[in-house]
Chains A and B, each alone.
Chain A
Amino acid sequence: MAVIEAIATTYLEANATSVTFSSIPATYEHLQLRINAKTDYTHASQPSYGAIRFNGDTGSNYSAHRMMGYDTTTLGQAVTGNSEMYAGRWANAVLATLFGGVVWDILDYANTNKNTTCLILSGIGDEANLVSVDSGLWDDTAAVHTILIDQSGGSNFLRGSEFTLYGLNSS
């Protein structure tokens, strides 16, 4: 058995409003999303907000904390009672060849006695520069079986955005 296994990869060949991984097996210990994405958000100096929704839950059950270096400013934020987990960043549309990198860890996702806490590292090293380390909480103990990856600010993920979900085994 592989220790780290690629569960699914989506490489967008056309723009898409969101990306969904469904029927995620409960057989892994942890999940990791690795993302290289951009959206059609056109703000000259701001990247797009990242967002994730678990199991189709649109209730006010998500919170996040963010510690960011944004352009020449350090910034801390906390949000709660959201309908998605707003964390991580995707590149905006300003520079066509620039995509943002994100590593999104989802720990003990199948344990039905624990809410789901995430650790997110993201960054964009050029236009609308930003580097951020975030926490995210889904206030629900259900096992994660579906992940919808969304964006805020624009309408679509742009062609070329890439998303891979990995499963981590204990041995």
Chain B
Amino acid sequence: MADPAYIVDGVLTDGEAWVALASTTLTGTASEITFTSTDDGQVGDWSQYMDLVIISYVRYSTGATYGDYLAAQYNNDTASNYAYQIMYCDGASPSIFKSASTTTSAYLGYAPRNGDTANVFSATVSHLFDINSGKYKSSVSQSANDMDGNGQAWLSATTWKSQAPISEIDMIGSGETFAIGTRIDLFGILPRMVA
């Protein structure tokens, strides 16, 4: 079994703190994109990381116009265990809403749908914090969704109301289907390893 890069000849070191874990670029449409921890002590084992960062460049092949949510579900939890705070601006005054009750996924951003201007994808960067702790799992996201005449600049904070470590992420489109060319990258963020 290969050691993670921070173990060199059996010695703990501090190398690259951001580790590329997975990258998916769709060559066909898909209803979800899934990332899973390998749980094997190697680079893809999420139990060694403090945070995760998800970088999403997304478009949907379904729906009319004005885009739709980009969301995540953790550990196959599809129950109403996610809360959120969102602020966005669509060209008028900033709008804001929060979860009056919990929802079934974490809202990370917004993305164009099939009826929106062709070849436009939204850009979203999401930070998931302390993913192996006994805390509820929190995230903050920035999303840029400009559809050539409409769209949003977006900020969101989400909470997955579970104390379980995150070992799987399902990226979904609130009932939409991801279009060909959609790309999502996952990074693991290490803490300081050596005192």
Report which A residues bind B (CB closer than 8 A).
Answer: 2-9, 11, 34, 36, 67-74, 91, 95, 97-103, 121-126, 129-133, 160, 162, 164, 166
Contacts and interface: CB of A to CB of B under 8 A. Distances in A.
Contacts of B163: 97
B91 interface: no
A133 B155 contact: yes
Interface stretch (B25-33, B92-100, B176-184): B92-100
A123 B83 CA distance: 12
Interface stretch (B60-68, B110-118, B133-141, B167-175): B133-141
B130 A162 contact: yes
B190 interface: yes
Chain A interface SS verdict (over half): strand
A9 B93 contact: no
A99 B193 CA distance: 23
A164 B99 CA distance: 29
B142 A99 contact: no
Contact of A125 (B17, B83, B193): B83
A154 B101 CA distance: 27
Contacts of A166: 17
Nearest to B153: A133
Interface in B1-51: 14-18, 50-51
B51 to A, nearest CB: 6
A131 B155 contact: yes
19 contacts: A4-B18, A6-B190, A34-B51, A34-B127, A36-B129, A69-B96, A91-B138, A97-B136, A100-B138, A100-B157, A101-B127, A123-B139, A126-B99, A126-B136, A129-B98, A129-B157, A131-B156, A162-B50, A162-B130
A71 B157 contact: no
Given A8-B192, A123-B138, A130-B157, 14 more contacts: A2-B15, A4-B17, A9-B192, A34-B50, A70-B96, A74-B95, A123-B155, A125-B106, A125-B159, A126-B136, A126-B161, A131-B157, A160-B135, A164-B192
Interface residues of B, number: 43
Interface of B: 14-18, 50-51, 83-87, 93-99, 106, 127, 129-130, 133-136, 138-140, 142, 155-159, 161, 163, 189-193
A26 B130 CA distance: 27
A101 B53 CA distance: 12
B45 to A, nearest CB: 18
B130 A2 contact: no
Contacts of A98: 135-136, 138, 159
Nearest to B97: A72
Contacts of B18: 3-4
